[in-house]
Amino acid sequence: MDNEFPYITPPPPLAQPGEPQPPASQTETHSEPQAEPHPEPERPPLVAPLWHTLIIVAAILLNSYFSGSKIAGTQQQQHRPFLYLSSIVLDILVFLFLWIGLRLRKFSMRELIGGQRDRFKTFLAGIGVPSGFWMATISLLIEIGVTALFWIVSTSALGGLKYALGLAGKDPKVAMDAVKQSMGAVLPHTGPELALFVCLALTAGIFEEILFRGYLQKQLGSLTGNAWVGLVISAVIFGAAHGYQGARFMVLIAIYGMMFGLLAHFWKGLRPGMMAHAFQDAFSGIAFFILTKYKLI
């Protein structure tokens, strides 16, 4: 019988017993494909066991709490060289313990420090710069330039924050007297002390950046599932580690730590922060030594 309604497709005939069933594609209507749910991004792996991180944070806070009495004793007995040497040894011991934690998770120190040198080498090779000395030199100069720019910007920002927190006044002499009163016990007064202090600045710049901006910032970012939360918490711990400088300076140092955290986050490496940190510490000691030696403060 002819189809009287040519624009209507008749249903498929029913299969008789013993006949093969028609394929599903011929009997089922086409349905809209359902969008697959987007999988949640995986958290980056922990760089060390959780118990290892708890021990390090507890050690930092306890050292900050008890350092006040140690600094007071140093001011009375003038044992600054012992303070510098003990701080260097402590930095090295914490670094070794940190390295053990990384090894337990099979996380390398090179991964923790990171950096852009591989990208620079690829770019420089692409424009014909020969590998070896020149490539390493250009990469280092770029990192030094980033360090200098960061130091200028962060130091300028800290100057404004000091005024906001009441840590600096319009009279430079009053400001220097405040620095001398709060930090005079730990800053160098003699040539040998200055040499030891510069060594301390170098070790602090390297090891503290590895600890706070490398280890803690990555670890806390992994634990919380948010890199920015890890950055902020590690900066707060960095400020809390300087308890001997008082509450307002701790706030200032925490903000300073956030600046270093931003540098490490966007640069994806620690070397510019290491250089800026070491230079800032060494510069403060050298400047204080010169000013006191020539009785300018």
User: How many other CB atoms are there within 10 angstroms of residue 4's CB atom?
Assistant: 6
Asked if the model's pLDDT at residue 76 lies above 50, the reply is no
Output the pLDDT for position 249.
85
**How confident is residue 256, by pLDDT bands cut at 50, 70 and 90?**
very high
Asked whether residue 143 is domain-assigned, the answer is yes
Three-state DSSP class for residue 140: helix
6-14 average pLDDT score: 56
Q: What percent of the chain has pLDDT over 90?
A: 51
Q: How many domains does the chain have?
A: 1
Each residue's pLDDT tens digit, 20-36: 555 555 545 555 556 56
Asked whether residue 81 is domain-assigned, the answer is no
Asked whether residue 148 is domain-assigned, the answer is yes
Q: Rounded to 5 degrees, what angle do the CA atoms 148, 149, 151 make? A: 65
Asked whether residue 39 is domain-assigned, the answer is no
Beta-ladder partners of 114? 269
Each residue's pLDDT tens digit, 33-71: 565 655 566 778 899 999 999 999 999 999 888 876 555
Model pTM score? 0.78
Asked if the model's pLDDT at residue 178 lies above 70, the reply is no
Residue ranges in 114-171 assigned as alpha helix (H): 117-126, 133-164
Asked whether residue 1 is domain-assigned, the answer is no
Place of tokens 């006040």: 68
Asked whether residue 209 is domain-assigned, the answer is yes
How far is Cα 150 from Cα 256, in angstroms, rounded to an integer? 11
Q: Which two tokens stand for residue 111?
A: 């991964």
The domain containing residue 214 runs over which residues? 109-293
Q: Taking a C-beta distance cutoff of 8 angstroms, is the pair 193, 81 a contact?
A: yes
With residues binned 3-state (H G I as helix, E B as strand, rest as coil), the percentages for the chain, rounded to 5, are 70, 0, 30
Q: Taking a C-beta distance cutoff of 8 angstroms, is the pair 230, 222 a contact?
A: yes
Asked whether residue 51 is domain-assigned, the answer is no
More confident residue, 12 or 262: 262
Asked whether residue 83 is domain-assigned, the answer is no
Each residue's pLDDT tens digit, 213-247: 999 999 999 999 999 999 999 999 999 998 878 88
**How confident is residue 169, by pLDDT bands cut at 50, 70 and 90?**
low
How far is Cα 101 from Cα 95, in angstroms, rounded to an integer? 10
